[in-house]
A and B are shown apart, each in its own frame.
Chain A
Amino acid sequence: MKPTDISAPDYFHKVVDCQWACPAHTPVPEYIRLIAEGRYSDAYMINWKSNVFPGILGRTCDRPCEPACRRGRVEETPVAICRLKRVAADFKDDVKHRMPKPVAKNGKRIALVGGGPASLAVARDLAPLGYHCTVFDADPKAGGMMRSQIPKFRLPDTVIDEETDYILNLGVEFKGGHRIDSLKKLLDENYDAIFVGSGAPRGRELDIPGRKEVSANIHIGIEWLASVSFGHVEKIGRRVIVLGGGNTAMDCCRTARRLGGEDVKVIVRSGFEEMKASPWEKEDALHEDIPILNFMVPVAFKHVSGKLIGVTFQKVKAEYDANGRRNLVPSGEPDQTIPCDDVLVAVGQENAFPWIERDCGIDFDKWNMPQVDAKTFVSTNPKVFFGGDAAFGPKNIIWAVAHGHDAALSIHKMISGEDITERPLPEVHVSSQKMGIHEWSYDNDISGDKRYKVPHRDKVIALKDIRTEVELGYDVKLALGEAQRCLNCDVQTVFSAPACIECDACVDICPMDCITFTENGEEEDLRQRLKAPSPHHDQALYVAEGLKTGRVMVKDEDVCLHCGLCAERCPTGAWDMQKYLIDMTYAGSTCQTKARSAA
């Protein structure tokens, strides 16, 4: 193998699995350490910079970081990264004075369609650069789906207000209650750029017999949630069936439980395990006495004299073909009709762009989706950008934020007359954490604690009021315990071959048997000769050459605890623990020259 080039920004970034997996590349270990130190405001600001909505995401994020967390490969459960983010938001001091100050306008005007996370992220990046950003939303307040679709018992309005205000206070103009119904008209207003972050606002229909006859008792999930959110709907029948297995279905069933639904069931086509809903959301639903029935396909809404009486289901089972593809085939059991008073249909969301005229220079593909560049987020009209669910279909908030950052960079470059396809590399800082002979600036003593549970409000109380938040969040003590579980994967093991005397001290001490000194070879061959098995080939091998014996040092990054014992036991300082921080490239940071610090 060729020696590893650790100066490539991506090499160490990949070792920080959580940060690499986060679409917005939030520096997770860095903020978790700050939480452990009680520096909640600092932890919050780090989050605010990269993911814009720490308080909101700390309650609702889909957590792509947690399945990636190295701790999950070392013991049963990953660090509760998401809920630690909430800790930063819950315990911070007033951070208003730390927000960017409004600056003099640069005369350029940006229109942002939709007031959800994608548009707000764009505004957050562009407003401090002097752009005049105008956000249009049909709803009276900013937040988009975060406000309309996520139930208040998961995400209180106060949190949304606070975090949308941080952005609007940067001098962003918000036009609530203003639905954009023609892109052409908007283009005629001569904005320098238009960003479309209008989400995926249409709930998918379920067109089966009986749908039209009893439409009064059949509701489309996201529309119904929005109506509940805005107080238009306050009640539902006693027996409710929720169709669908995604997170919207979980929000629907839990909301129904709070609006009078006593017998609420979720019924899904697939198996329980393959449901799209996050495991923790399923868990929360089950905890609120909502059974989830699986392998049942709805075939008809049953009704008698115009009144819904139930839903008929065909029973299916999963069969896998030669390619491993799953097919749901009838199991042969008789159909089952489950009685109910109301049905909530949460079987998916779609994009809808009736307001975009097809002759504004924006090409649509065969699925009627705008053609958007996956890197720059520009459409075929060079002044119109897309992001969030509007760009590539329904995902989640953190993806919308990531799209927003990238689109803002494109918009800034476009208006500055630069080539938007040129994406500057991120800035990387790597610095030794050595403080003394065996002292490091981070706590390298590995905690053996199991994942701490987030305290919940008592079920009886929680189910009474739809606006009472269920999760109470970690208190300071629990947060500290959970923060200590973080393995500090951003503190990298850096090896210097010329200093190494090949005494094997690092090999002997490494608790995870990560390090091997051996003859070089091809990667496949090397992986066979390591001190411990190497099952995860997506995890890099760190190879260094230049040793006196002609061997190479090979470190399997897979399950390294970053405990620093290799560096502590190294007599010559060939190993060092160096913190790796990456500054993602945002709009405005491209040509910036950093002032040299005095010291």
Chain B
Amino acid sequence: MTYIAKPKFHHPGLPKNDLGYTHRDYEGKISTLCAGCGHDSITASIIEACYELSIEPHRVAKISGIGCSSKTPDYFLGNSHGFNSVHGRMPSVLTGANLANRDLIYLGVSGDGDSASIGFGQFAHSIRRGVNMTYIVENNGVYGLTKGQFSATADRGSKSKKGVMNTDNAIDLVAIALQLGASFVARSFSGDKNQLVPLIAAAIRHKGASFIDVISPCIAFNNHAGSTKSFDYVREHNDAVNRLDVLTGRDPITVDYAPGTVQVVEQHDGTRLALRKIDADYDANDRLAAMTFLQKHAAKGQVVTGLLYVDPDSEDLHTHLDTVETPLNTLEAKDLCPGTSALEKINASLR
């Protein structure tokens, strides 16, 4: 880790977003992870996405569990709300916070251990309920903090740094998220920011449960030959189905694509997602086809990346529960305790 603070100086010509912030204004403390950790690139991508969306930092709540990945919220959005929760319990804490105040943007940051092992159930239920959040798993296939044991997402047949073969079957979090009804599902790679940044931006703008699985090589314990989560392996086996451009504002789509190669998806808040198809047959609006596609390619050892599924008419937990729009902390006593006449009305309706 680096001991000096990152210098405050920034490039004098750095562009500013609508709020007058440079991307440096979205940084947090300096990373204490190992040099070269894929997680740091995801941190940089989150910073870039929030900068591009001109998000006010105080409108973000970043919530994490335990692990290398769960340390990263300290390294981005230093002026946002944060909660470093118990191991695997990020989804519950996030769900609770979201129910109490739907005005914030919820960013859940977790890892493969936190979400696929100890917090697997938590992960499943938050997705299943459609909590309005961006759930990012920084997936490196090993327990880096305890020196590189296989995690639940390590592929069967892949090798540890010592050369031991993994005999357990892997959990594919993307497949589970699709099956559990997530309305935005993507997979990306920490070594490909051009793909990752727009995916994070689109997920933040999506209403409902957005899930992004980011393969993030562990430099210390899982970046060797025989690993399926190494830089080299993912670069060689990366099968990107599409490239995404996020269009906020009312700007027309000016990029000239050959007809039929771009699919435009309009989300709830007016954000348009322009999907440049790389695989001509891939339809990002078809959940079933996506699941089949994934399984087929996984069997061939390929890592399918891109925006895999998006439901433009998605709903979230608040819609399902018909909750009050006002954040609970701003509800007045008279709203919470409407008086005897209101109570009598309710009682009368039950008689």
Contacts from A to B (Cβ < 8 Å): 73-75, 438, 444-446, 448, 501-505, 507-509, 511-514, 532-533, 535, 548-549, 559, 561, 563, 565, 568-572
Q: Could you say which residues of chain B place their CB within 8 Å of the CB of A504?
A: 40-41, 44, 190-191, 193
Check B6–A503 contact: CB distance below 8 A.
no
Check B13–A571 contact: CB distance below 8 A.
no
> With A503-B41, A503-B231, A568-B35 in contact, is A532–B6 under 8 Å at CB?
no
B34 proximal to A (CB < 8 A): yes
Cα(A445)–Cα(B4), bound, Å: 6
Interface centre among B35, B43, B219 (most CB of A within 10 A): B35
Check A569–B2 contact: CB distance below 8 A.
yes
Cα(A117)–Cα(B10), bound, Å: 41
CB distance from A280 to the nearest CB of B (A): 23
A-B contact count (CB 8 A): 99
Check A571–B231 contact: CB distance below 8 A.
no
B317 proximal to A (CB < 8 A): no
Q: Could you say which residues of chain A place their CB within 8 Å of the CB of B223?
A: 501
Cα(A59)–Cα(B66), bound, Å: 59
Check A74–B12 contact: CB distance below 8 A.
yes
B350 proximal to A (CB < 8 A): no
Q: In this complex, what residue of A is CB-closest to B2?
A: A568
> With A445-B4, A513-B14 in contact, is A505–B9 under 8 Å at CB?
no
Interface centre among A75, A565, A571 (most CB of B within 10 A): A571
Contact-residue bracket for chain B: 35 or more
Q: Could you say which residues of chain B place their CB within 8 Å of the CB of A569?
A: 2, 31, 35-36, 40
CB distance from A555 to the nearest CB of B (A): 13
Q: In this complex, what residue of A is CB-closest to B193?
A: A504
Chain B 200-235 against A: per-residue CB contact (8 Å), 1 yes, 0 no? 000000000000000001010001000000011001
Check A503–B219 contact: CB distance below 8 A.
yes
Check B219–A571 contact: CB distance below 8 A.
yes
Partner of B10, one of A512, A548, A563, A565: A512
Q: Could you say which residues of chain A place their CB within 8 Å of the CB of B44?
A: 504, 507-508
Q: Name 15 interchain pairs, CB-CB below 8 A, sorted by A.
A: A444-B4, A448-B8, A448-B9, A501-B232, A503-B37, A504-B41, A505-B40, A508-B40, A513-B10, A549-B235, A559-B12, A565-B2, A569-B35, A570-B36, A571-B34
B162 proximal to A (CB < 8 A): no
Interface residues of B in 22-61 (CB under 8 A from A): 24, 30-31, 34-38, 40-41, 43-44
Q: In this complex, what residue of B is CB-closest to A504?
A: B41
Cα(A508)–Cα(B75), bound, Å: 11
Q: In this complex, what residue of B is CB-closest to A448?
A: B8
Partner of A505, one of B7, B15, B30, B35: B35
Q: In this complex, what residue of B is CB-closest to A509?
A: B6
CB distance from A444 to the nearest CB of B (A): 6
B3 proximal to A (CB < 8 A): yes
Q: Could you say which residues of chain A place their CB within 8 Å of the CB of B1?
A: 438
Q: In this complex, what residue of A is CB-closest to B220?
A: A571
Partner of B9, one of A507, A533, A548, A561: A561
Q: Could you say which residues of chain A place their CB within 8 Å of the CB of B11?
A: 512-514, 532-533, 559
Check A565–B9 contact: CB distance below 8 A.
no
CB distance from A575 to the nearest CB of B (A): 10
Cα(A143)–Cα(B133), bound, Å: 76
Cα(A444)–Cα(B14), bound, Å: 23
Q: Could you say which residues of chain B place their CB within 8 Å of the CB of A448?
A: 7-9
Interface centre among A438, A511, A565, A570 (most CB of B within 10 A): A511
Check A438–B9 contact: CB distance below 8 A.
no
Q: Could you say which residues of chain B place their CB within 8 Å of the CB of A571?
A: 34-36, 219
CB distance from A79 to the nearest CB of B (A): 14
A-B contacts besides A445-B5, A505-B41, A561-B7, 7 pairs, CB < 8 Å: A74-B12, A438-B2, A509-B30, A509-B31, A512-B11, A513-B14, A559-B11
Partner of A446, one of B9, B35, B219: B9
Check B2–A501 contact: CB distance below 8 A.
no
Q: Could you say which residues of chain B place their CB within 8 Å of the CB of A568?
A: 2, 35
Interface residues of B in 279-307 (CB under 8 A from A): none
The 4 residue pairs across chains A and B that have the minimum distance between CB atoms: A571-B36, A533-B13, A446-B7, A508-B44
Q: Could you say which residues of chain B place their CB within 8 Å of the CB of A503?
A: 36-38, 41, 190-191, 217, 219, 231
Q: Could you say which residues of chain A place their CB within 8 Å of the CB of B43?
A: 508
Q: Could you say which residues of chain B place their CB within 8 Å of the CB of A502?
A: 191, 231
CB distance from A275 to the nearest CB of B (A): 27
Partner of A511, one of B9, B12, B232: B9
Check B35–A511 contact: CB distance below 8 A.
no
Q: Could you say which residues of chain A place their CB within 8 Å of the CB of B193?
A: 504
Cα(A569)–Cα(B30), bound, Å: 11
Check A548–B7 contact: CB distance below 8 A.
no
Cα(A358)–Cα(B3), bound, Å: 69
CB distance from B124 to the nearest CB of A (A): 32
Cα(A444)–Cα(B7), bound, Å: 10
Interface centre among B3, B5, B11, B30 (most CB of A within 10 A): B11
Q: Could you say which residues of chain A place their CB within 8 Å of the CB of B9?
A: 74-75, 446, 448, 511-512, 561
Check B191–A511 contact: CB distance below 8 A.
no
Q: Could you say which residues of chain B place their CB within 8 Å of the CB of A532?
A: 11, 13-14
CB distance from A20 to the nearest CB of B (A): 21
Chain B 236-279 against A: per-residue CB contact (8 Å), 1 yes, 0 no? 00000000000000000000000000000000000000000000
Cα(A504)–Cα(B40), bound, Å: 9
Q: Could you say which residues of chain B place their CB within 8 Å of the CB of A505?
A: 35-37, 40-41
Cα(A505)–Cα(B219), bound, Å: 11
CB distance from B245 to the nearest CB of A (A): 17
CB distance from B73 to the nearest CB of A (A): 16
Q: In this complex, what residue of A is CB-closest to B14?
A: A532
Cα(A74)–Cα(B7), bound, Å: 11
Q: In this complex, what residue of B is CB-closest to A444?
A: B4
Cα(A311)–Cα(B107), bound, Å: 76
Cα(A533)–Cα(B30), bound, Å: 24
Q: Could you say which residues of chain A place their CB within 8 Å of the CB of B190?
A: 503-504
Cα(A446)–Cα(B36), bound, Å: 22
CB distance from B33 to the nearest CB of A (A): 10
Check A438–B3 contact: CB distance below 8 A.
yes
CB distance from B203 to the nearest CB of A (A): 20
Check B41–A511 contact: CB distance below 8 A.
no
Q: In this complex, what residue of A is CB-closest to B232?
A: A548
Q: Could you say which residues of chain A place their CB within 8 Å of the CB of B36?
A: 501, 503, 505, 569-572
Cα(A60)–Cα(B2), bound, Å: 41
CB distance from B5 to the nearest CB of A (A): 8
Q: Could you say which residues of chain B place their CB within 8 Å of the CB of A535?
A: 13
Check A73–B12 contact: CB distance below 8 A.
yes
Cα(A511)–Cα(B11), bound, Å: 8
Q: Could you say which residues of chain B place their CB within 8 Å of the CB of A74?
A: 9, 12
Cα(A507)–Cα(B190), bound, Å: 13
Q: Could you say which residues of chain B place their CB within 8 Å of the CB of A572?
A: 36
Partner of A570, one of B10, B14, B35, B231: B35
Q: Could you say which residues of chain A place their CB within 8 Å of the CB of B231?
A: 501-503
Q: Could you say which residues of chain B place their CB within 8 Å of the CB of A513?
A: 10-11, 14
Cα(A438)–Cα(B193), bound, Å: 27
Cα(A444)–Cα(B3), bound, Å: 10
Q: In this complex, what residue of B is CB-closest to A549?
A: B235
Cα(A75)–Cα(B8), bound, Å: 11
Cα(A152)–Cα(B115), bound, Å: 76
